[in-house]
């Protein structure tokens, strides 16, 4: 397996677990406890936080978005379940970007996004991947608990799981150095250069609230996914509902819930994150890379899938 992973050509960190214990833990670049921006893999954590609100009785998957954000186009037709599985019919108006030009607050960002969210009734119930779904879920979490998303994330994951290599990208440099964070690079003209300046990366992290704002080491990511899939954060019934997707993508709860395993991928700002897990979260492959090459993400993703399939057969 190590040879197969090394052939991917990644410059980062690798963790493979079996029965929740590391069987491979090494780095081809950086170190085993390096923290990377996990991008969209964070959606699985946000989704689990939402499902916990359902367990508490504070939220229903059948609730309409209009209950919380009545001014969003199509909000009276979109349900919480549609946001979780990306079947809302919502998207951002063409030419617009998430968040304000200069970050002010999470609320200001969501207020901005509401103005430029469009609804396509024909796409309601059909899968269309866009982070705007999870932005609204973050806003709903804050409304329900009267806390910021960052406060809720820390209380849900960082503090109880004692995550030592996890932080928000917008934290100060001393905190980022403490978690062994590295910037993301992209290949340009045969050399790796920083993908985006830190100021831009931080703004993007704010704009992708709950969907691409966390840096994590492989060990912390594995611990968090294990907690969500195997731990007591969610009931067995909640997991069955949240992590069961429909064909053709089988996406729900921030994960692609395939027949043999679950997967999540993150890409952006010069980072790649690939997470593959058995349904119970006990066996896992996590690969993170901060040296990316344009056009290579899809190719690497397919190869990681093959490696996970082989692992499942052993």
pLDDT band at 255 (very low <50, low <70, confident <90, very high): very high
**Among the listed residues 296, 308, 278, 195, the one whose alpha carbon sits nearest the alpha carbon of residue 20:** 278
| Structural domain harbouring 117 | 1-312
Give 257-299 pLDDT, tens digit per residue: 999 999 999 999 999 999 999 999 999 999 999 999 999 999 9
**Among the listed residues 171, 172, 179, 200, the one whose alpha carbon sits nearest the alpha carbon of residue 36:** 179
The conformational region for residue 9 under phi > 0 = left, psi -120 to 50 = alpha, else beta, is left
Domain of 170, CATH number, reads 3.40.710.10
Number of domains present in the structure of the chain: 1
Q: Where do we find the tokens 């966390």?
A: 214
15: which strand partners? Answer: 25, 286
Alpha-carbon distance 76 to 61, whole Å? 14
pLDDT at 314 over 80: no
SS (H, E, C) 260-314: CCEEEEEEECCEEEEEEECCCCCCEEEEEECEECCCCHHHHHHHHHHHHHHHHHC
Give 207-221 pLDDT, tens digit per residue: 999 999 999 999 999
**How, if at all, do strands 185-188 and 291-292 pair?**
parallel
- For the whole model, what pTM was predicted? 0.96
């Amino acid at each position: 397996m190590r040879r197969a992973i090394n052939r991917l050509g990644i410059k980062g960190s690798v963790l493979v677990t079996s029965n929740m214990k590391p069987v491979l833990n090494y780095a081809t670049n950086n170190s085993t406890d390096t923290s990377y921006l996990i991008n969209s893999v964070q959606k699985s954590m946000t989704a689990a936080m939402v499902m916990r609100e359902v367990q508490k009785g504070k939220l229903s998957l059948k609730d309409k978005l209009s209950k919380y954000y009545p001014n969003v186009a199509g909000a009276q037709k979109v349900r919480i379940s549609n946001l979780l599985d990306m079947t809302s019919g919502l998207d951002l108006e063409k030419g617009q970007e998430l968040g304000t030009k200069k970050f002010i607050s999470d609320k200001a960002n969501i207020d901005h996004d509401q103005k430029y969210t469009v609804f396509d009734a024909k796409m309601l119930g059909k899968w269309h991947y866009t982070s705007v779904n999870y932005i609204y879920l973050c806003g709903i979490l804050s409304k329900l608990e009267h806390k910021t998303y960052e406060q809720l994330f820390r209380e849900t994951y960082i503090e109880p799981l004692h995550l030592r290599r996890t932080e928000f990208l917008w934290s100060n440099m001393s905190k980022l150095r403490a978690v062994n964070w590295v910037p993301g690079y992209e290949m340009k003209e045969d050399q790796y250069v920083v993908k985006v300046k830190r100021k831009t990366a931080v703004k993007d992290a704010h704009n992708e609230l709950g969907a691409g704002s966390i840096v994590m080491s492989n060990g912390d990511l594995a611990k968090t996914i294990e907690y969500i899939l195997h731990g007591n954060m969610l009931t067995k019934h909640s997991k069955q509902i949240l992590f069961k997707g429909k064909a053709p993508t089988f996406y729900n709860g921030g994960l692609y819930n395939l027949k043999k395993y679950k997967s999540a991928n993150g890409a952006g700002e010069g980072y790649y994150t690939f997470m593959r897990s058995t349904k119970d979260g006990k066996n896992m492959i996590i690969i993170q890379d901060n040296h990316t090459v344009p056009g290579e993400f899809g190719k690497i993703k397919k190869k990681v899938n093959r490696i996970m399939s082989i692992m499942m057969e052993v």
